[in-house]
Amino acid sequence: MLKRIRRQIAIFFTVIGPGFITAMVDNDAGGIFTYSQAGAK
């Protein structure tokens, strides 16, 4: 059971990892402010 959960988590991060890293690279102070304001509306 634990082995199966670990395998599923590993697969999840293998798929989501590159996109998550790419999304975090472009977060600067101006971008965070802009995204916050857009999300608030």
Looking at this protein, which amino acid is placed at residue 37? Q
CA dist., res. 18 & res. 38, Å (int): 25
Residue 6 pLDDT grade (very low, low, confident, very high; cuts 50, 70, 90): very high
Helix spans in the chain (H): 2-25, 29-40
Comparing 12 with 35, the larger pLDDT belongs to 12
pLDDT digits 0-9 by tens, 16-38 = 777 777 666 766 777 777 777 77
Q: Report the chain's C-alpha Rg in angstroms.
A: 16
- Provide the residue ranges of all domains of the chain, joining segments of one domain with +: 2-40
- pTM for this predicted structure: 0.43
Q: Is the pLDDT of residue 41 over 70?
A: no
